[in-house]
């Protein structure tokens, strides 16, 4: 039964779906339970710190220590990961979860479209820019969004793109090892900021227990599920599936946080998701002729 489940073609889809749901539930729980007690920076510190500890125990990266060049790459990757998490949580103070995720998607989407000259990719770019224009507080948006929150979400988008770029340099290392070490570096970036904001409140037993649960739900479990999916899916197919994340985040925030979006904001999310799906589909179509020409 176990081998049949592991070989099922539905497993990668279920893994990505589970990752998106766990991430949304964990983040919603953090915003509801931890923000009032330790603020956004404190919540990010608890989440990233516990996530690093959980993955260090799970993967034990010291069993095969990377070389000096790889350690430098891991440091850059981890710093980008930490800054991305911190900026994203700071955005959640003043803008809805689903909209923050949609804006943050501009990072990987922009990276995917960077340097493209194919006409179809300009369509995806136009869809993404239209969606972002509807959300940004430019005087003609679909709903009033806090400018500082939007700026933090855009900052998270930039660091997400850097995180992907630095992470690609680590493709030759075991994924669990690089993620565990990267999260450890991220904790070194984020935890001091959280301590400066929340102080001894971070040591409250209630905060620590909730923080451990948030770390497991929003980092350790999703990362493990994504690694499982990536082992069985082409990167482009994985990108198409993860494009559901903004809508999933908005739906979970609606149910768990009572964050209700306007029809125009849902339209903006739909445009950004369509751009992400289209970009991943185009990348898959581009790679198909090359793969077909390879000797089998």
Quick one: which of 35, 46, 79, 21 has its CA closest to 203? Answer: 46
Distance CA 202, CA 212 (A): 12
- Cβ atoms of 77 and 167 closer than 8 Å: yes
Total of domains in the chain:
1
Please report where in the chains the tokens 């990267």 appear, as a residue. Answer: 182
The model's pTM is 0.88
Distance CA 176, CA 19 (A): 16
In a domain, 292, yes or no: no
**Host domain of residue 274:** 9-286
What pLDDT score was predicted for residue 232?
75
What pLDDT score was predicted for residue 113?
79
**Whole-Å CA distances, 5 to 15, 22, 42, 178:** 12, 20, 39, 27
116: left (phi over 0), alpha (psi -120 to 50) or beta: beta
Token pair of 66 as six digits: 């990377």
Is residue 138 classed as helix, strand or coil in its secondary structure?
coil
In a domain, 295, yes or no: no
In a domain, 59, yes or no: yes
Quick one: which of 223, 226, 196 has its CA closest to 45? Answer: 196
In a domain, 79, yes or no: yes
In a domain, 27, yes or no: yes
In a domain, 136, yes or no: yes
List per-block mean pLDDT (blocks of 10 residues) for the chain, which spans 296 residues. Answer: 56 87 95 96 96 90 84 94 96 95 91 77 88 76 79 96 87 82 95 96 95 92 81 74 91 94 92 89 58 33
């Amino acid at each position: 039964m176990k081998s049949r489940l592991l070989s099922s073609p539905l497993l990668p889809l279920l893994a990505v779906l589970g990752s998106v749901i766990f991430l949304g539930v964990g983040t919603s729980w953090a915003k509801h339970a931890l923000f009032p007690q330790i603020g956004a920076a404190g919540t990010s510190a608890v989440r990233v710190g516990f996530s690093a500890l959980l993955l260090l125990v799970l993967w034990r990266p010291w069993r095969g220590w990377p070389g000096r060049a790889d350690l430098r790459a891991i440091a850059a990757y981890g710093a980008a990961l930490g800054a991305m998490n911190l900026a994203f949580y700071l955005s959640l103070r003043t803008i809805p979860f689903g909209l923050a995720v949609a804006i943050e998607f501009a990072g990987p989407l922009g990276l995917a479209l960077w340097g493209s000259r194919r006409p179809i990719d300009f369509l995806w770019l136009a869809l993404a820019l239209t969606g972002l224009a509807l959300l940004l507080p430019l005087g003609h948006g679909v709903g009033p969004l806090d400018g500082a929150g939007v700026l933090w979400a855009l900052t998270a988008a930039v660091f997400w793109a850097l995180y992907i770029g630095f992470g690609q340099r680590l493709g030759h290392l075991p994924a669990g090892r690089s993620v565990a070490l990267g999260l450890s570096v991220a904790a070194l970036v984020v935890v001091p900021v959280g301590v400066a904001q929340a102080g001894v409140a971070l040591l409250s037993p209630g905060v620590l227990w909730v923080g451990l649960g948030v770390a497991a739900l929003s980092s350790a479990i999703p990362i493990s599920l994504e690694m499982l999916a990536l082992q069985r899916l082409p990167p482009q197919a994985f990108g198409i599936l993860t494009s559901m994340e903004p809508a999933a985040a908005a739906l979970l925030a609606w149910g768990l946080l009572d964050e209700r979006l306007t029809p125009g904001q849902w339209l903006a999310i739909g445009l950004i998701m369509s751009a992400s799906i289209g970009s991943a589909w185009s990348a898959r179509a581009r790679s198909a002729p090359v793969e077909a020409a390879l000797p089998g």
